[in-house]
Structure 1
Amino acid sequence: MRKNFLNSFSKIFVAGIIAVGAVSCGEKSEEKMEIGKNVLHVYSWAEYIPSEVFEGFEKETGIKIMEDIYSTNEEMFTKLKAGATGYDLVLPSPDYVEIMMKENMLDKIDKSKISTFENLDKNILKRLSEFDPNNEYTIPYAVSATLIVVNTKYVKDYPRDYSIYERSDLKGRMTLLDDMREVLGSGLLMSGYPQTVGDEKAFKEAEEKIKGWKKNIAKFDSESFGKNFASEDFLVVQGYGENIYMELTEEQKKHTDFIVPEKGGLFSLDSFVILKTAPNKEAAHKFIEYVHRPEVYALVADYLVLPSINVPAREFTEEKPLFKIEDLEKCELLRDTTSTLSIQNKYWEKIKGGF
């Protein structure tokens, strides 16, 4: 399962290939990729697609799935830009889909081959159309959001946005992610600016706001926020809900509030994309179509404890999602901000300095 779907862009153009192990339903593949009409290569996040989905597709179609894993969008992008070939399907976050579209790395998806496309939530498709009109390159897989998570056993009467970090009575009991995009993006949005702004004035205002939050946090933490929240070392954390949820006991879940910020929130729509170099585009279309069958997608939504972006699948889900799709209405979809990378780095260094 993904831990960091929004990552700093500081490693986007790092040279070199990150070695990862290929698996097919948990089994390692040969070092050389097996290519053929009965093999589909998926490049994805760890523990992101339930094994039952792979197994069901293989049983029905006879097409063997080989899955390679990446831990960050940067790792995936760097490997593909360095010349890695043989992959068919990838599941980037929207900012990286946008980058990959600009780099001419993606093939258009033939929606006539995906009979289940109509199952997708039209509002979700509309958000992707901000950079992919008519969803020519993207078929969404899962919606996720960066949350503020609160221990309600100890914290009462709190705002449902990042102004909670202004509470001096919680000093030393809160954390923010150690992530430039996450924190700067939220600071900009809380200051009334879009994440794509390039104005120095906007970043100065965001810096001052975030420095106000910094006075009250124990640390910037992208690694152990889930465990530390579960241990009650920290009572308010910025993080990814699924990674916190899996650390909690059933009793703890009763007094944990998973908040999609009413102001300052960012969200992601990881999507299936087909690479221009994909050797088996036919199988890629078949797999996307299979995943969005209602009874199949319900397995995905329950597994990730996230809201179903597949409308008829909602009738089959059993788990209560950590948030509702409607909660995202005031959030911004993660977008490509590489054009402002230098100014982001400048202000992030100023914010992190002396911490």
Structure 2
Amino acid sequence: VDSYASNEEMYSKLKAGAKGYDIVFPSQDYASIMIKQKMLRELDQSKLTNKGYISPLVLSKATYDPEMRYCVPYYYGAAGICVNKAKATGTYERTWNIFADPQFKGHATMMDDMREVIGDALAYQGHDVNSLDDTELAQAKKLIEEKWKPNLVKFDAEGFGKSFASGDFWLCQGYAEVVHGEVTEDRWENEIDFFIPQEGGPAYLDSMCILKDAPHYELANEFINFIHEPQIYAQFLDAFRFPCSVNTEAGQYMKTKPMYEASQMDNCVLKEDVGEGLDKYNTIWQDIRFSD
């Protein structure tokens, strides 16, 4: 078992000829790429007796493989907003525009991730998080530069959990598990308010896929099916305090309270591979990151 810091690293290793792997867990954009490049082997549907537990809502979002020919959804999630309730000096709106709230000035951070930040601005303004429309992207850029960025300490993809736990950051955009992992459990109730805004935002879907040259194809199919035994999948959810978003039956077997409810992600949209349109995002992001 190997873990990689990003989809890009995993993909690069495989393209460079890494051998011996049976199963990979790519996110939706790289799953789509790997299907197109014939890097994956079709699953043995006769072995996937637990596929009926997969959420229809999640499958409807997996437009690159809605019939699970190559990919079985593993986890569906999204970044959200984390507020330190003990530090907030007043009420606050539960939308992405909370980053314009002056009470958090000098104590707020957003992720150093262009698709997440720009995607949230697009969602707040009622646009598709995968938009390539120049006018919509310009509106998102203006919102971030003029309203959100002035309140931020920095764009931070890695250390925001520790800084939230220490009390330096009161408002963060990020993943719930990062903050909860740094704050001791006895402080969760009084300090952490994590939510995903009603307008939604970018989401990710990690899937289990079998590589074309998998040395243990039959066992790989059996393992994927085993993961989605509801009692087994519930143990995975309990370990990370994740909400039950993929396996519809596992929730009844959970022994812990999730960090947020799966229904908060109903309006989220999967980040797609935007192809050459990514250049637009890169240009906008460079302007945002390095503007005064």
Structure 1 and Structure 2 fold alike (TM over 0.5): yes
Task: Give secondary structure in 1 for the equivalent of 2:38.
Answer: coil
1:68: how far off? 1.3
Between the aligned partners of 1:196 and 1:123, the Cα distance in structure 2 is: 19
**Which residue number corresponds to residue 15 of structure 2?**
81
1:195: how far off? 2.6
Segments of 5+ residues of structure 1 without an aligned counterpart are: 1-66
Task: Give secondary structure in 2 for the equivalent of 1:244.
Answer: helix
Between the aligned partners of 1:321 and 1:338, the Cα distance in structure 2 is: 35
Matched, 1:167 2:88: no
**Within-5 A mapping of 1:188-203:** 188-203=122-137
Given that 1:141 and 1:269 are in contact with CA atoms closer than 8 Å, whether structure 2 keeps it comes out as: yes
**Which residue number corresponds to residue 29 of structure 2?**
95
**Which residue number corresponds to residue 279 of structure 2?**
342
Matched, 1:107 2:41: yes
Given that 1:89 and 1:273 are in contact with CA atoms closer than 8 Å, whether structure 2 keeps it comes out as: yes
Between the aligned partners of 1:312 and 1:191, the Cα distance in structure 2 is: 35
Task: Give secondary structure in 1 for the equivalent of 2:43.
Answer: coil
> Which amino acid letter does the alignment assign opposite residue 219 of structure 2?
A
Given that 1:161 and 1:264 are in contact with CA atoms closer than 8 Å, whether structure 2 keeps it comes out as: no
**Which residue number corresponds to residue 143 of structure 1?**
76
The one-character-per-residue Cα deviations of 1:74-118 (angstroms, maximum 9, x if unpaired) are 101111122222211001111211122222222222222111112
Task: Give secondary structure in 1 for the equivalent of 2:3.
Answer: strand
Task: Give secondary structure in 1 for the equivalent of 2:97.
Answer: helix
Task: Give secondary structure in 1 for the equivalent of 2:208.
Answer: strand
From 196, 201, 208, give the equivalent of 1:265: 201
Task: Give secondary structure in 1 for the equivalent of 2:81.
Answer: strand
**Which residue number corresponds to residue 31 of structure 1?**
none
Given that 2:25 and 2:206 are in contact with CA atoms closer than 8 Å, whether structure 1 keeps it comes out as: yes
Segments of 5+ residues of structure 2 without an aligned counterpart are: none
Matched, 1:240 2:175: yes
**Which residue number corresponds to residue 214 of structure 2?**
278
Between the aligned partners of 1:319 and 1:335, the Cα distance in structure 2 is: 32
Higher relative contact order by CA 8 Å / sep ≥ 6: 1 or 2? 2
Given that 1:177 and 1:220 are in contact with CA atoms closer than 8 Å, whether structure 2 keeps it comes out as: yes
Between the aligned partners of 1:102 and 1:201, the Cα distance in structure 2 is: 31
Identity %: 39
> Which amino acid letter does the alignment assign opposite residue 64 of structure 2?
F
Between the aligned partners of 2:200 and 2:249, the Cα distance in structure 1 is: 31
| Count of residue correspondences | 288
Which has more helix, going by share of residues? Answer: 2
**Which residue number corresponds to residue 133 of structure 1?**
66
The one-character-per-residue Cα deviations of 1:224-248 (angstroms, maximum 9, x if unpaired) are 1001001110110011111110111
For normalisation by structure 1, the TM-score amounts to 0.78
Given that 2:119 and 2:129 are in contact with CA atoms closer than 8 Å, whether structure 1 keeps it comes out as: yes
Given that 1:173 and 1:218 are in contact with CA atoms closer than 8 Å, whether structure 2 keeps it comes out as: yes
The one-character-per-residue Cα deviations of 1:118-158 (angstroms, maximum 9, x if unpaired) are 22222222222x22131222111112210110111222421
**Which residue number corresponds to residue 306 of structure 1?**
242
Matched, 1:319 2:253: no
